[in-house]
Chain A
């Protein structure tokens, strides 16, 4: 159990948005958190890294490798984020400062986390970019010169740069079209196999993750209504809401929802 959330509630002074949620992510697994916009799934993912907006407070426990993250000081969290836990967001454009080159970002992250040698930093950056299927020459480019898919790949490369144990992807494929989204997910799954990090993938569309997730949790209005193995949830949903969520999204009808038993794959 790398991450274990126990009875986590998030709310402002007058409103509870996430209500007593418990959730666990196992070592090295691909866990998907599915819910509509407004269900509180993004806040949940932000609370893990103490990234909540200032007007919201979290209570409960967020155990990461056994220690409660909510009790950590901002300084300790800073050291943890990036190195042990890292994030990818939907807004890939916002992931890079527009007037700094891609390379400058890679350089800065390594510097901040203690890599002193400039050449070592440069080599690591080139390697990281190549590992996500991008040309190392892109390091010299600026964010606006890259396409959406390329930027999201670069964001993944920065997120994995310091080999974190947990990667939290918050709607990381939502802004991409389904083809680029698919390629980004395939990349994430491959990097996961290579590095063995756990992934918590937050999304509104279960179709994005049906190939890759090991387990799914379905969230509705601040509560988790159903959790379980992918096959169990997608092919045999128990909860009314899960069923609704699955029926709403069309898939090409030759296989089970979970992707099991697909022609050519089975």
Chain B
């Protein structure tokens, strides 16, 4: 890395890490992303370009943007479902961006994702019980779980379902026997079951109807408080992001164009694009 870039990066990190607009609390951030870039083969410009942010412990950081702005690509890069071309993803003090395979596995537990469409995010051929057990059996065994301590499979699944306010008898059902809202609760339970530090919520309510949307948002807020989770909340719905988050970033064409504390949303210095988004909601 040339010195110039290093300097630029330092300057920028100073500007956007803790305290730039809103404080992220006293504790050190659980996730620090810097210079993240991802270009798809054959694309004219990067889908995600030089994105950096820090996520404080227990914080909900909102990310707003239209479809196609690169917010889902960013989520997939953070989860290492896709590999970023450049940049670092520091999770719990360790940069996971260059890690692969076996070296990455111990870090997987710390970050989990909830996708937009719960119908696609659950394997239709697996019973709910088995979908919920999967992460624990792969990643949770080594970890000491405090809230969802593992006594038996039955008990563990029951606890998880209870946490997301689903009846225990759902454990034996298949995803298609559940409503959309119930399915999304299951994917949330799966994501929090191994007590990750960070949960990436990629449009978690976009495929639900209004009433389920409200209920799922309330549930997520509750879980964040009771489990001390940190969220990256990704949505095109500025109103939902505003309701959920302490700080908000606005993304457009792969870049973060605006960032501010939730209480500064209506301030005059907002980016014109942010103001356009505000006018819609």
Q: Which residues of A contact B (CB under 8 A)?
A: 36-37, 147-148, 176-180, 182, 204-207, 244-245, 247-252, 254
Partner pick for B281 among A147, A207, A244, CB 8 A cutoff? A207
Minimum Cβ distance to chain B for residue A220 (Å): 10
Q: Is the CB of B209 within 8 A of A36?
A: yes
Leading 4 A-B pairs by shortest Cβ distance:
A248-B214, A177-B236, A250-B243, A177-B67
Q: Is the CB of B281 within 8 A of A180?
A: no
> Considering residues A207, A244, A248, which has the most beta carbons from chain B within 10 angstroms of its beta carbon?
A248
Q: Is the CB of B211 within 8 A of A252?
A: no
Partner pick for B66 among A180, A204, A206, A207, CB 8 A cutoff? A180
10 A-B pairs whose Cβ atoms sit less than 8 Å apart in the complex: A37-B180, A178-B238, A179-B280, A182-B280, A204-B209, A248-B214, A249-B213, A249-B214, A250-B237, A254-B266
A204 in contact with B67 given A248-B215, A251-B281 (CB within 8 Å): no
Counting residue pairs across A and B whose Cβ atoms lie within 8 Å, the total is 62
Q: Which chain B residues in 203-227 approach chain A with CB under 8 Å?
A: 206, 209-211, 213-215, 217
Point out the residues of chain B lying under 8 angstroms from A148, CB to CB: 67
Mask: chain B, 261-281; 1 = CB below 8 Å from A; 0 = not? 000011000000000011011
Q: Is the CB of B210 within 8 A of A252?
A: no
Residue B178 interfacial (CB < 8 Å): no
Cα distance, A247 to B217, chains bound together (Å): 12
Cα distance, A56 to B217, chains bound together (Å): 36
Cα distance, A251 to B215, chains bound together (Å): 15
Cα distance, A204 to B242, chains bound together (Å): 21
> Considering residues A147, A178, A244, which has the most beta carbons from chain B within 10 angstroms of its beta carbon?
A178
Point out the residues of chain A lying under 8 angstroms from B214, CB to CB: 247-250
Cα distance, A245 to B210, chains bound together (Å): 7
Point out the residues of chain B lying under 8 angstroms from A176, CB to CB: 67
Q: Is the CB of B266 within 8 A of A205?
A: no
Point out the residues of chain A lying under 8 angstroms from B217, CB to CB: 250
Cα distance, A177 to B68, chains bound together (Å): 10
Residue B240 interfacial (CB < 8 Å): yes
Point out the residues of chain B lying under 8 angstroms from A36, CB to CB: 209-211
Residue B239 interfacial (CB < 8 Å): yes
Cα distance, A56 to B15, chains bound together (Å): 62
Q: Which chain B residues in 151-208 approach chain A with CB under 8 Å?
A: 180, 206
Cα distance, A81 to B281, chains bound together (Å): 34
Q: Is the CB of A245 within 8 A of B67?
A: no
Smallest CB gap from B239: residue in A: A250
Q: Is the CB of A248 within 8 A of B280?
A: no
> Considering residues B67, B210, B215, B238, which has the most beta carbons from chain A within 10 angstroms of its beta carbon?
B210
Partner pick for A178 among B237, B242, B266, CB 8 A cutoff? B237
Q: Is the CB of B213 within 8 A of A248?
A: yes
A248 in contact with B239 given A148-B67, A178-B281, A179-B66 (CB within 8 Å): no
Partner pick for B210 among A177, A180, A249, CB 8 A cutoff? A249
Cα distance, A245 to B209, chains bound together (Å): 10
Smallest CB gap from A263: residue in B: B266
A248 in contact with B281 given A177-B66, A178-B236 (CB within 8 Å): no
Minimum Cβ distance to chain B for residue A175 (Å): 10
Cα distance, A207 to B236, chains bound together (Å): 14
Cα distance, A245 to B212, chains bound together (Å): 10
